[in-house]
Structure 1
Amino acid sequence: MVSQRGKGMERIVKNNKLVILTTLIFTLTMGFFTLKIKINPDVTDYLPESDTVVKNFNKIGRDYGGSLTGFLVYESDKIFDERSLLEVKRLSEEMEKVEGINLVSSISNLVDIKSKDDDIRIEKVISFDSLKDEKYLSEKEKFFKSDNFYKGKFLSEDGKKSLIILFFDDDCDQQKVCAEIKNIVKKSELKGKIYYGGLPFLFEEIGTLIVKDLTKLLVPCILIMVIILSISFKSVEGVLIPLFNSLISIISVAGIMSILKVKVTIISNIIPIILLAVGSAYSIHFISKVYELESEGKNRKEAIEESLKVIFLPISLAALTTFIGFISFVGGSYLVMIREFGIFTAVGVLVSFFLSVTFTPSLMIITKKSRSVVNSEKENDRFVEIVDKIIKYKKMLVTLSVTLSIVSLIFLPKISRSADIIEYFKRGSEFRKSNDIIEKDFNGSSRFLIIAGGNMNSVKNLKKVEEVETFIKDSLGLNNTNSIIQVIKRTNKIIEGKEQLPENDEKLSNLYFLIEGEKSLDRLIKPDKSETVLEVSFQDGLSLERVRKLQEKIEEKVKMVNGDLNFSITGMPSVYIRLDKSILKSTIVSTFLSLGLIFILLSFIFRSLIKGVKGILPIFFTIIMVYGIMSLTRISLDIATNLIGSIAIGIGIDYSIHYLLRLNSELKNNKDFNVATKNTLLTTGRAILTNVFTVSAGFAVLIFSELKPLSNFGFLIMLTMLLAGFSTIVIFSVSITKKERK
């Protein structure tokens, strides 16, 4: 088997030009498909379609003309003056023309039922023929500030802001519609200022930031890699070959995603950065080995052939463990986006490995030797000093590592979680400012959607829905509700003089007849009166724990009044709750799954359970310390940072494998453990450090991401890689027993 592998390596060296040509053709093909890749910023798609909350959310989208609502906030010195009202009217009318918007609600088009001399008619709340009448405008402003039905919904308390509500079709291209809306606003040259809010604009902003991050962060990441590789290898090939490997891996994965019609999400957005950092690791170890053998007097061809034979096992094992780390997300995560991230990053790792044992040696044959020595004597002396100090103070360093791990364990249970998408935007960002205005002046944009299924031609059933709405207002303090109950009671007040539900089903039928045909009511009740929706709006500032308790209390209440009705709760707050639960589960399951699989693999490789345990020790200490730092720095566990554990295991365990395999080899040639350790540190240790700094620097670029979860993720992965490299070198220098040394 070894000889067959050896022959395979010889064929790669012999047919190096064919390997290069094949790789280039494949890359160009994948590059063509990469140009067609699309982005999906919609977080509701990240949960499986079979999820109950998602099913109900999509049901509202189908049955009630869309489940997503956008907001335009128009701000001027005074809303109730002629200019401002005309601009709101003009803007509302322009929005109605946008394909993908099925309904627009604003103070300019609101209607109400009026009764005069026994004549009942529906007319607009604001008459635009009376805008020059200051008294009329003043009365209407007071009306919007005091009327229970409209208060806080369309006009801010200071009278300077007005809300325009846009109801999106569920099957529309949200990003395209939002872009068109912004373009219309820009061309309108309004005197007032416009702010954008709501989920469609949030998703559009995320999509914009994903593209911005990809274009803004990739180039700095490449430059940092170039600098570190230049310092480490001091050769053109030492810089370009790892870089080529990473870029080809990125293009390959993007091309495959495009072919399979898998869109880029807020999480898969970081795949290029990961592959740029991780994809270079295998070629770095290969190049280091070639240079090491060249420094011993071998020519380029001999050095490459021997490197392929010697380095193939540790590189393949490192790739396998990294693959396990990423693929564990498939079995360990409930979220679709994280499963997709795991699959395609794992594919990228395999491509990087394959390139490192085919494309890398083929290029190195062509480039020949590009430097005379591996490192200058001065550099070697400096590195030897560092190695000697590590060996001298290894016990103290291990004690420090253990102490830090224990301290981290104490803070571990205090890690907070975050699933609110608004929190993904940094404070001070334009979208965050807009959202704060909607929160402050219009009671927030978060909405529970409570579906009540049953015969809504029955006053008895409507009273049950009313009981739930009253409970939400009086007991939970959520006063901003919208329902068919309110419309019926308001209409009944005009007809009967009583703001209450009608006395019997016949009178209810008459009221339905009066309001029939009003498009806005289609969002509250089905045409056949078989189901209704109760909307409960509140501010995003509430903690997720508070939102969870509110939902639990609503669920308890609807169980008590169920009867002939079937209640179900959905809406973005419910999605956030489900996301939060999934994030916690994903973190625990994927971390322990990858740790368990890698322990089994290491135990099999070294034919020892003890060595298997020791193999995962450095990364175990690393994960504990990183989660402890998360707790201390108040970085929340979210859709990005929940990936830390498995990624740390998958990437960090590579260092253990390379170190242990090289140490085993050195111990066979030299029985003195300290000498073997020193030789390991001077060779593999140097490659590990090069890789640590390359990977860390690559991920550090993510700190500058516009999205907070990715920024935190970049910082934590950088820290993880530094700690993993440090732990590997220090812990293995002291934890190998005398029996194992022999």
Structure 2
Amino acid sequence: MKLRDALLTFSVDRPKWVFSLLLLLCILAGLQIPSIKVDTDPENMLPHDQPDRVFHDQVKERFALHDMIVVGMVNRDSDQGIYNPQSLSALQRLSEEISRMDGVIPKDQMALDRVDNITQEGPGTIRFEWMMKEAPSTLEQSAEIRQAVERLPLLDNTLVSGDGRAAGIYVPIESKSVSYKLSQQIESAIAALNVKDEFHIAGLPVSEDTFGVEMFVQMAISAPLAGLMIFILMWVFFRSFLLITAPMLVAMASVIITMGLLIGQGYTVHIMSSMIPIFLMPIAVVDSVHILSEFADRYKPGEDAKPAVLEVLGHLFTPMLYTSLTSAVGFASLAFTPIPPVQIFGLHVAFGIMLAFLLTVTLIPAYIISLSPKRMAQLKDHNIQEDDSSRLGRLMSFMGRLSMMKARLLVVGFSVLTALSVWGVSQIQINDNPVRWFKSDHRLRVADRVLNAHFSGTYDAYLVFDRTEAQDPIAHLNSELVAALNKEPLSVDIKPALQAMMESARAEDFDQYASMLASQIDEASFTRPAQEESVWLDLLGRVEAAQIDAKYFLKPDVLEYLDKLAADLETQPDVGKVNSLPVLVKTVYRELTGGGDDQYRLPDSARGVAQTILSYQSSHRPDDLWHFVTPDYRSTLLWLQLKSGDNQDMTAVMEHVKAYVEAHPLPQGLSVNWAGLTYINVVWQEQMVNGMLKSLMSAFVMVLVMMVVLFRSLSIGLLAMLPLSVTILFIYGLIGFVGKDYDMPIAVLSALTLGLSVDFAIHYLERARAIYRQTGNWAGAIADIYKGPSRAISRNAIVIAIGFTPLLLAPLVPYITVGFFLASIMAVSALVTLLLLPAVITLIGNKDKLFQTQVSVKEEV
């Protein structure tokens, strides 16, 4: 028995078995849901072994960097801005409260009460004291704090805005996953301050974590609302609550089983996979609407429902199978992207689509057959003749006539539209920013605008410089010492002792090795024969020189290069400020050498730089140094504060650095790389866009092959791709035309466009071919097509397009995007199918040849 017949016979003969098996699957899947694990970190868009992510993690570890939440205080009322006793007192109390919260790293927290003021205590000496050990009680004391802050480049416009209106608290956190919880605790602490100052909380970690929390809240609201809207619209068309319950059961079961499978396999629910219900529901309902539409057209109350069900499913089975396969292929193609959460999302939606097909061809007929004759009698008579006089029927008849009478005009019109769409596609800008996932009036978007207007920037990026060696530094030092010794007459006597010292000083760390070797050589200069003293002292000098040379970022010329690059970067509009080791050294050196502005410069020698840094080690926060340079002084970084987290802005900064390095080559032996959350967002976005493009192209080819196989005709296969092609171009052309950034939700919609756009074409062409064989006349075929099949297509488009309008009311931009473009996809693909496709067929001369296939594929399935 054929697969189709087996499934249909089983469904109509044993409906209770169908219900029982489905209930069992839903229960098993539902039992997995309580073990759900949520991950909303966009950083996990990249595999753990992706080179940029590995380097980013290494940089955080090497420089003891932590993700941060930025808390901003703004005073618009006082003439002194935040430099007044009340505001500074509130700031200190809030800072102390935050430092005691779980998940905060207190020693690295930055606020006015937790940083040093650096001043000169006397000639050659420096003084470190807390900037705000106690909150000031007078305006004069507040003004003194302002003068001190504005004198320290590392703090000015970082901890306090240049206009003095805003102050910040930089809160380092143990994990991004605690961001939302901490933000709630901080808001509670702010409420307890009882001051008039404004407070805002910003930063990528809190934006990403907050989105994750609100995303699941929104999912719990939007998905049921969309389901309710679809249910209401189907009732409008079919006027039977009993009948339209079946497709809703299909959708719900598909979502529950798919999500249960995902969670049961141990996958975390990421930003992408959380949207599986939204993407799966319209696809799960589409086939059911086709069945209900044709069943309602053919069934008359009082008749036996079984023949009508089998007849409808008999000729819809193959079109539904292929529409499901094409949709599944569109989403399964996402497995070729290099983004793990996208791969998981695509494969599970593909599974859900095929599951929905299986449930549609089993549950729908089982459900209809199980209804009693009394309940079936309640089904309104939707025969074709009556529907012809309805608004939808009259509209379909008009569109059918229009497609024939104005075929050339329609083709020209759609061609112009397609050309405009191509232009629109060329205008698309690839850009994303997790903060923009919220609506413009969301508190995080408001905080982002306010704080980035006042401060240097709440987005971080790190430009990391590493000293690269042509050979191992220990081996290089040893060979240099041996070469120098070989030139000495006493080398024969000294070499064995030196070799022994090298062996005993063996260590993996160069600085440790050189220190041990220098100690032994120094001792030998005293204990060995007097005539060897000068030789040992020469060797000692070479070791000490190698030690200084190894501490690469103590060299003034190297620091000068970094300082000039930082100064150049600060001229860029996207860069608010660059903090660096040279800035720290110049600040401390100024106070060591007199405190004048003319002394704000780098020391002349590496020893001078080392002495300056040694002085800084007496501060209350000596470990802050290691945020800029590693203890071996072989790696350093520039901390860029950016006013925007948009990918385009970060990319512009990257391109500027690239151009600068090309014009001013790096010092020999120096390499440079990027790190930081803002940069990582650029990396995964680029990989997603490139991966989506490749998957879309490959899926497009696969769908074309499937269309040719389905219709056993290259010509009809190409016609089936027409609505898909026009819809994709129009949707993405519209994105470019209106200036919408190509972001994560838009990228994923390509798979949805692929699956839904070809759906209508398959049903239209399959029925058109069958009807044309019966009538032998295209005009007659058009009349029949725009009675039955066209109404199913239009009903489907209306149900899905309008059904997901509740998403437009969501506070999260990705949901609004999905809702708007889902409606657009359905509307455009339906119009192209119902107007352009028949117009093109009308202009084809030999229709007998076009529809010449003798055996329908559906008869063989």
TM over 0.5: yes
Q: Which residue does 2:833 correspond to in 1?
A: 728
- CA distance, structure 2, for counterparts of residue 46 and residue 8 of structure 1: 40
Q: CA deviation digits over 1:628-673, x for unaligned, max 9?
A: 2222222221111123333212112111111122222222332222
CA gap of 1:388–1:479, structure 2 versus 1, over 3 A, is closer
CA gap of 1:18–1:669, structure 2 versus 1, over 3 A, is same
CA contact (8 A) 2:157 2:456 kept: yes
Q: Letter of the aligned partner of 2:714 in structure 1?
A: L
CA contact (8 A) 1:416 1:636 kept: yes
CA contact (8 A) 2:430 2:648 kept: no
CA contact (8 A) 2:322 2:710 kept: no
CA gap of 1:124–1:255, structure 2 versus 1, over 3 A, is same
Offset at residue 603 of structure 1 (A): 0.7
Q: Letter of the aligned partner of 1:406 in structure 2?
A: A
Q: Letter of the aligned partner of 1:726 in structure 2?
A: L
- CA distance, structure 2, for counterparts of residue 95 and residue 235 of structure 1: 58
Q: Letter of the aligned partner of 2:394 in structure 1?
A: E
Offset at residue 702 of structure 1 (A): 2.4
Q: Which residue does 1:533 correspond to in 2?
A: 637
2:401 pairs with 1:392? yes
Offset at residue 524 of structure 1 (A): 2.2
Q: Which residue does 2:752 correspond to in 1?
A: 647
Q: Which residue among 766, 783, 797 is the counterpart of 1:661?
A: 766
- CA distance, structure 2, for counterparts of residue 378 and residue 233 of structure 1: 13
Q: Which region of structure 1 is more displaced relative to structure 2, 168-177 or 235-244?
A: 168-177
- CA distance, structure 2, for counterparts of residue 460 and residue 117 of structure 1: 25
Q: Which residue among 350, 354, 377 is the counterpart of 1:350?
A: 354
- CA distance, structure 1, for counterparts of residue 282 and residue 177 of structure 2: 37
Count matched residues.
Answer: 738
SS in 1 for 2:464: strand
CA contact (8 A) 1:469 1:534 kept: no
5+ residue gaps, structure 2 = 468-548, 853-861
Q: Which residue does 1:39 correspond to in 2?
A: 38
CA contact (8 A) 2:90 2:193 kept: no
Q: Letter of the aligned partner of 1:585 in structure 2?
A: N
CA gap of 1:114–1:634, structure 2 versus 1, over 3 A, is closer
CA contact (8 A) 2:39 2:270 kept: yes
Q: Which residue does 2:775 correspond to in 1?
A: 670
Q: Letter of the aligned partner of 2:340 in structure 1?
A: V
2:641 pairs with 1:637? no
Q: Which region of structure 1 is more displaced relative to structure 2, 578-587 or 636-645?
A: 578-587
2:450 pairs with 1:437? yes
2:388 pairs with 1:380? yes
CA contact (8 A) 1:156 1:442 kept: yes
Q: Which residue among 645, 657, 675 is the counterpart of 1:554?
A: 657
CA gap of 1:64–1:230, structure 2 versus 1, over 3 A, is same
SS in 2 for 1:727: helix
CA gap of 1:463–1:209, structure 2 versus 1, over 3 A, is farther
Q: Which residue does 1:464 correspond to in 2?
A: 558
Q: Letter of the aligned partner of 1:434 in structure 2?
A: A
Q: Which residue among 426, 431, 436 is the counterpart of 1:413?
A: 426
SS in 2 for 1:209: helix
Q: Which residue does 1:602 correspond to in 2?
A: 707
CA contact (8 A) 2:384 2:788 kept: no
SS in 2 for 1:540: coil
Normalising by structure 1, what TM-score?
0.92
Larger radius of gyration: 2
SS in 2 for 1:44: helix
Q: Which region of structure 1 is more displaced relative to structure 2, 729-738 or 229-238?
A: 729-738
- CA distance, structure 2, for counterparts of residue 647 and residue 35 of structure 1: 29
CA contact (8 A) 1:100 1:172 kept: no
- CA distance, structure 1, for counterparts of residue 201 and residue 162 of structure 2: 19
- CA distance, structure 1, for counterparts of residue 273 and residue 232 of structure 2: 26
CA gap of 1:544–1:18, structure 2 versus 1, over 3 A, is closer
5+ residue gaps, structure 1 = none
Offset at residue 372 of structure 1 (A): 5.0
Offset at residue 686 of structure 1 (A): 1.6
CA contact (8 A) 1:79 1:160 kept: yes
Q: Letter of the aligned partner of 2:642 in structure 1?
A: F
Q: Which residue does 2:143 correspond to in 1?
A: 138
Q: Which residue does 1:63 correspond to in 2?
A: 62
Q: Which residue does 1:585 correspond to in 2?
A: 690
Q: 1:213-224, aligned counterparts within 5 Å? A: 213-224=218-229
Q: CA deviation digits over 1:154-210, x for unaligned, max 9?
A: 122443321101122247533333344334434555553320011122112312331
CA contact (8 A) 2:296 2:382 kept: yes
SS in 2 for 1:70: strand
- CA distance, structure 2, for counterparts of residue 563 and residue 124 of structure 1: 40
Q: Which residue among 280, 291, 310 is the counterpart of 1:275?
A: 280
CA gap of 1:211–1:462, structure 2 versus 1, over 3 A, is farther
Q: Which residue does 1:474 correspond to in 2?
A: 568
Q: Letter of the aligned partner of 2:600 in structure 1?
A: E
2:568 pairs with 1:487? no
Q: CA deviation digits over 1:259-308, x for unaligned, max 9?
A: 23433344434322222222111222233343344349851233334444
CA gap of 1:618–1:8, structure 2 versus 1, over 3 A, is closer
Q: Letter of the aligned partner of 1:521 in structure 2?
A: L
SS in 2 for 1:682: coil
Q: Which residue among 195, 200, 204 is the counterpart of 2:200?
A: 195
Q: Which region of structure 1 is more displaced relative to structure 2, 563-572 or 576-585?
A: 576-585
Q: CA RMSD in A?
A: 2.7
Q: Which region of structure 1 is more displaced relative to structure 2, 255-264 or 644-653?
A: 255-264
Q: Which residue does 1:97 correspond to in 2?
A: 100
Offset at residue 687 of structure 1 (A): 1.5
2:128 pairs with 1:125? no
Q: CA deviation digits over 1:603-628, x for unaligned, max 9?
A: 11112222111110112112222222
Normalising by structure 2, what TM-score?
0.80
